[in-house]
Structure formats: structure tokens, C-alpha cells
Amino acid sequence: MSRPLLRASGIDVRFGGVHALRDVTVSVGPGEICGLIGPNGAGKTTLFDVVSGIRRPDAGTVEYDGTDITRRSPVWRARHGVRRTFQRQQLFGQLTVADNLVVAQDRRGGARSEARRRRERAAAVLHDCGLDALADSYAGALPVGQARMVELARALADPPRVLLLDEPASGTTAEERRKLAAVIRRTAEEENCAVLLVEHDVAFVMELCSRVVVLDLGRVLAEGAAAEVRADPAVREAYLGAGPGSAEGDPPDR
């Protein structure tokens, strides 16, 4: 990997007696799509909260393009290109799809030309995501699969440099997953964006990610090329729902 764009190192988070993350280190390079998988409660969302600035870690640092941003606010991080989606959708349901993308963009002055610029950017991103037809629909009225794509589009409303995707494919059809995968891949390749992808759909992760990190009980259990990780007996036992040599299965909920 070239110099990481994102590096979270030695991250520790406790919630009272629960040790949610223990000395976790994860790096993602520009243009890379790195998978972050693990059973329920492994600490994946907590790590996203730390990287996006919602939660201050008890120990460890978050570096962005070589700079320590551990103490920077979530707003600062978003303005500087660290963007995320949420496991539970956070769209503004009473706004249209286009307006969700307009309000997600950083303001650079209040002039009318600035409003036009944001509207044009929103339209361009919606077009790239195949969402033109939904621009004027209310976000709250969309079925889950379409809302997932809108949430991804909103994270792209200002060009991201680091993109944290928390279960973007949850509740989607095979066709919607194929479209989501295409947009994620294009964002990494064309924008040179570092993507960290949390997803329970292992096939989706394996198809998209060159490298995968496996968390279990707050620790990094394994890390490596997608195929290597998939074949790792410890990973198969802890997460993939299959012992060594047995048939591949979907991950169990734990």
C-alpha cells in the first residue's frame, strides 16, 4: 500500500465493563477498498464512530493523510473529506432526494451562485448514481434499497477522500447491490478515495475489497487479501459460519 490516507492505530474503546475495541490498527490507502467484517458486536461501528469523530477513543490515534486528527470534531472531518454512511439510515425524510444532497454540502458563502453550484453538484452526483428519476421524491417515502443508494450519494455530495460505509447493502436486492458496488468501485478508482466498508454480505465484500480486516470481540483477528482471509480457519470458525474444510456459509448472527 502507498502511504495510508487513513490510519487508526492502537484504538481502545470501553463502554463501562465492555471492552469494545482493543488495540485495533487499521490503515486504508488512496484508491483502496478495504473490508471490515466481523460478527455482531465485534466493534465495527464503534471503529467508524472513532474515525468519523463521533466517539473519542480511550487510547490510540487517528491519522488522516499523515496528520493526527484524533481531537478534531466530526464536522471538521466531514469538511475535510472524511465522510460516512450509517447502518441505520439517516436521510432527512421530509426533504427531497436532491435536497438531501444539497444540504450535505459544505457552504462556501451564501451567494445565489453558491446555491446554484450546490444544486448542480447534487444533480451530477444523482446522475452518476443512477438516481435522476428520484431527485424530487421525498427521501422518507423510498423503499430501503433506493434509500441505501441515496445515502451513498449523499456521502458523495462533496467529494470524499475517505469514505466509511456502514452496511450499505443491507436490505437491498441483487440488482441494487450490483449498482452500489459499481458506484463504490468508481469512487475509489476515479476519486482516489480510501474506502472502508463494513458489510455482513460476505460475497459483496469479497467482490469489492482487495484487502479485508476481520474484527472479533474488539480485536483484529485477521487481515490480508480477501481470498486469504476467507480461507483462514480462525476466521471461518469465528465468523463465516464454517469450520475448516466445510462448505462456505453466510455469517451467523451472534
Ligand X SMILES: Nc1ncnc2c1ncn2[C@@H]1O[C@H](COP(=O)(O)OP(=O)(O)OP(=O)(O)O)[C@@H](O)[C@H]1O
Closest distance to ligand X from the beta carbon of 198 (Å): 7
- Nearest distance, CB of residue 220 and ligand X, angstroms: 13
Closer CB to ligand X, 79 or 219, in the complex: 219
Nearer to ligand X, 129 or 155 (CB): 155
CA dihedral for 211, 85, 114, 72, sign (positive or negative): negative
194 neighbors 162 (Cβ within 8 angstroms) = yes
> What amino acid is encoded at 240 in this protein?
L
Residue carrying C-alpha cell 462533496: 158
The Cα 53–Cα 45 span in angstroms is 12
- Extract the C-alpha cell encoding 228: 486469504
* Closest of 144, 13, 141, 161 to residue 87, by C-alpha: 144
Q: Which residues pair with 19 in a beta bridge?
A: 14
Give the three cell numbers for residue 222: 485477521
Element (H, E) at 219: strand 219-225
Residue 102, CA distances (Å) to 19, 92, 93, 163 in order: 39, 11, 14, 18
- Say how many CA atoms lie within 13 Å of 215 toward its Cβ: 30
Residues lying near ligand X in the complex (CB under 6 A): 15, 18, 20, 38, 40-46, 87
Nearer to ligand X, 51 or 149 (CB): 51
Q: Which of residues 12 and 191 has its CB atom nearest to ligand X in the complex?
A: 12
Q: Which is nearer to ligand X, 167 or 232 (CB)?
A: 167
Please give the radius of gyration of the chain, using alpha carbons only, rounded to the nearest integer. 18
Q: Tell me how far, at minimum, the Cβ of 213 lies from ligand X, in Å.
A: 12
CB of 76 to ligand X, least distance (A): 22
Least distance from ligand X to the Cβ atom of residue 206, Å: 17
CB of 151 to ligand X, least distance (A): 16
